[in-house]
Amino acid sequence: MKKAINIFGVALLLVFVIPAAVLAQEATSTPEVATTTPETIDTATSTPHLAIEGSVDVPASCEVIDTDGVPHTYLEAYLGICALEAALSNGLITDVQLSNAYPSIGLFVTTIDGVAADPNSQYWAVYQNGQFAEYGLTLLQISAGDTLMLRLSDFSGNNLGDQVTLDIRSLVSTTTVATSTESSGGDAAAMPEQNSGSGGGGGDSDETFDVSAALAYLAGQQQSDGSFGSLFLSDWAALALASADEGPARAALRNYFLTTAPALESVTDYERHAMALLALGVNPYDGANYIQPIVDAFDGVQVGDASLDNDDIFALFPLLHAGYDTSDSLIQKTVASILSAQTETGSWDGSVDMTAAAIQVLVLVDSLPEVSSALARAKEYLHTQQNSDGGFGNSFSTSWALQAIATFDESADDWTSGSLTPQDYLAGLQQNDGGIEPVSSSTQTRVWATEYAIPASLGETWDAILQSFPRPKAPEASGGSGGSRAGEVLGAATSTVAVATSTSATVITATSTPTLAPVAISIAPAIAKSAMPEKFVVTPSLLTAIAAPPARPAEVPRFWNRVRDILSSFFSFFTNLLY
């Protein structure tokens, strides 16, 4: 009888008391939302948002300092980072903080004019011509007429109101290099100073360019490891030294390349470095394959970025010295793409530099349709660009123009303007220490200019400097009827290529015993070029997404959660009571 009574009491407790207790707990509990700090809403008393807009003239190269005080020099192209530096230089903005916290993704903005992005929830997003930029500032190539905007955003992409808009008025130099894009509209006032020291820039017909002195200057800038500091300058030094010097400087640089695995990111990096290796007599297929990433950047029509032509032009130099010829579809279609980019004036990009580079490579494929007529128009364009001082605006452009002149089997004396030749112009820019450009210029600029001037003054084209190596044969597929040769493209790029695929990469050496050393892996996705970024850029939002915990499953209403918990406890008590 006692147990029956207890069971009846338990039933009453179950039906009436437990739900009532739960409801009472709901009624007296503090809602979770009430403990959340409400989102701040802008009011009339809020700090005004940063809103800056102005025009900038962007140089081809620039140097910036990160938040740790470390300088970073960008020589390779007209980049977003240089546009930001230009805005700082002309006073459009007064302060910018650049972080190198994640070296693999390059510098990124943390603060502009005192407006700092909260690293836990915000970042400065970069937009180019109204679209979210595909790359960070240190990789983002720009053109005259572009609009570059930095907007403070949260990790969900919401606009927080602060923004800086830079209208790219012009590109202020024609010192185009193998990794740059070029546009007309340069500002002569912003070009490197042409007068200083001996000669005064602009030439004197009694002066001659001293190649031995230039080589001595270059050797004096070589570092103890054989390099010239950056890979960019080291690559161009290879072509300069190979054109004139068989001495210790060339040997030391060659050894550096054989024992050091470079960190290459874009297809133009591979093109330039392959040219450097070929100039020094290093097989670009040995060890790491520096030709395959160039081939894989071919999308069936052209190489690299469809909006650029420099990556097509410079692709042909190493390819034509690495077993490819005009019978290859890759070469034929790339040449066709280059020809389609020629302007009505006969130039490429309205640039002496890029036109001279195109001339150098098209001469090598002049058996292909329409090449000869394109060369004639390009030559005429160069004639229109020569100044009365004999030069083409600056030492960089003049050096490349001299190499283009050599491809026509002509000498500098055949290109006289105002009684002066391009050689006279370079001689006028050579300083007492043998280097080119005023001594007040940065060392990097002077080394760079001298590297260009040495082969140019000797009349050595890039084709003449580069050695050739055969294309390796692909292993025959078992059971098949042959197969494509190594590096041959069948339609669009279909293979994934990386410099290294393991934790440690094999450093290229001249011996059969590999040496292991860390190397940055450059990823070339197996997709069409138009969708292939030159570098996978990790944004703060992506870093947050990677580190974020998985989402919680949908919650059961709290009332029934508590009913379940109390019933569980009750049934445990009830079981003990009965037994």
Range with the poorest average pLDDT among 112-116, 135-139, 192-196: 192-196
Mean pLDDT of 491-515: 34
pLDDT of residue 304: 95
Average pLDDT of the chain to the nearest whole number: 76
Please tell me whether residues 159 and 13 are part of one structural domain: no
Mean pLDDT of 434-456: 93
- Higher pLDDT: 542 or 353? It is 353
| Domain span including residue 99 | 51-171
Q: Above 70 in pLDDT, residue 568?
A: no
CATH number for 113: 2.170.130.30
| Distance separating alpha carbons of residues 82 and 56, to the nearest angstrom | 10
Please tell me whether residues 159 and 215 are part of one structural domain: no
CA-nearest of 304, 244, 300, 243 to 271 is: 304
- In sequence order, the β-bridge partners of residue 149 are 127, 165
Instruction: Look at residue 101 and tell me if it is in a domain.
Output: yes
Q: Above 60 in pLDDT, residue 541?
A: no
DSSP assignment of 187-200? -GGGSPP---TTT-
Name the band, by pLDDT with cuts 50, 70 and 90, for residue 157: confident
Mean pLDDT of 379-396: 95
| Distance separating alpha carbons of residues 474 and 281, to the nearest angstrom | 23
Task: Indicate the residue among 419, 438, 465 that finishes a domain.
Answer: 465
Please tell me whether residues 25 and 119 are part of one structural domain: no
Contact present, 287 and 274 (Cβ < 8 Å): no
Amino acid at 64: V
Contact present, 350 and 381 (Cβ < 8 Å): no
DSSP assignment of 274-328? HHHHHHTT--TTSSS-SSHHHHHTB-SS-BS-TT-SHHHHHHHHHHHTTT--TTS
Condensed to tens digits (0 to 9), the pLDDT of residues 13-61 reads 554 455 555 444 444 444 443 344 444 434 444 568 899 998 898 888 8
Instruction: Look at residue 265 and tell me if it is in a domain.
Output: yes
Mean pLDDT of 355-370: 98
Question: Cα angle vertex 139, ends 119, 222, to 5°?
Answer: 110
Condensed to tens digits (0 to 9), the pLDDT of residues 78-93 reads 889 999 999 998 889 9
Instruction: Look at residue 124 and tell me if it is in a domain.
Output: yes
CA neighbours closer than 13 Å in the CB half-sphere of residue 514: 12
pLDDT of residue 102: 78
| Distance separating alpha carbons of residues 350 and 360, to the nearest angstrom | 17
CA dihedral 253→259→263→265, nearest 10 degrees, is 70
Mean pLDDT of 261-279: 95
pLDDT of residue 65: 86
Q: Above 60 in pLDDT, residue 379?
A: yes
Contact present, 72 and 63 (Cβ < 8 Å): yes
pLDDT of residue 245: 76
CATH number for 301: 1.50.10.20
Condensed to tens digits (0 to 9), the pLDDT of residues 303-312 reads 999 989 999 9
Instruction: Look at residue 530 and tell me if it is in a domain.
Output: no
Task: Indicate the residue among 409, 438, 465 that finishes a domain.
Answer: 465
Q: Above 50 in pLDDT, residue 148?
A: yes
Mean pLDDT of 152-162: 88
pLDDT of residue 336: 98
Instruction: Look at residue 84 and tell me if it is in a domain.
Output: yes
Q: Above 80 in pLDDT, residue 544?
A: no
R_g (Cα) of the chain, nearest Å: 32
Q: Above 90 in pLDDT, residue 170?
A: no
Name the band, by pLDDT with cuts 50, 70 and 90, for residue 251: very high
Mean pLDDT of 340-361: 95
Please tell me whether residues 17 and 60 are part of one structural domain: no
Please tell me whether residues 56 and 7 are part of one structural domain: no
Q: Above 90 in pLDDT, residue 7?
A: no
Instruction: Look at residue 486 and tell me if it is in a domain.
Output: no
Task: Indicate the residue among 412, 433, 465 that finishes a domain.
Answer: 465
Quick check: helix, strand or coil at residue 215? helix
Please tell me whether residues 82 and 156 are part of one structural domain: yes
Mean pLDDT of 479-489: 37
Please tell me whether residues 78 and 158 are part of one structural domain: yes
| Distance separating alpha carbons of residues 175 and 75, to the nearest angstrom | 10
Instruction: Look at residue 220 and tell me if it is in a domain.
Output: yes
Contact present, 199 and 429 (Cβ < 8 Å): yes
pLDDT of residue 98: 93
Please tell me whether residues 131 and 80 are part of one structural domain: yes
| Distance separating alpha carbons of residues 329 and 462, to the nearest angstrom | 23
Percent of the chain with pLDDT over 70: 67
Q: Above 60 in pLDDT, residue 118?
A: yes
Mean pLDDT of 147-175: 85
Instruction: Look at residue 39 and tell me if it is in a domain.
Output: no
Please tell me whether residues 412 and 297 are part of one structural domain: yes
Please tell me whether residues 307 and 437 are part of one structural domain: yes
Q: Count of domains in the chain?
A: 3
- Higher pLDDT: 276 or 509? It is 276
Quick check: helix, strand or coil at residue 554? coil
pLDDT of residue 298: 98
- Higher pLDDT: 343 or 194? It is 343
Structure tokens, 126? 């970069």
| Distance separating alpha carbons of residues 111 and 124, to the nearest angstrom | 8
Please tell me whether residues 248 and 123 are part of one structural domain: no
Q: Above 50 in pLDDT, residue 77?
A: yes
Contact present, 393 and 422 (Cβ < 8 Å): no
Amino acid at 192: P
Please tell me whether residues 420 and 294 are part of one structural domain: yes
| Distance separating alpha carbons of residues 128 and 166, to the nearest angstrom | 10
pLDDT of residue 14: 52
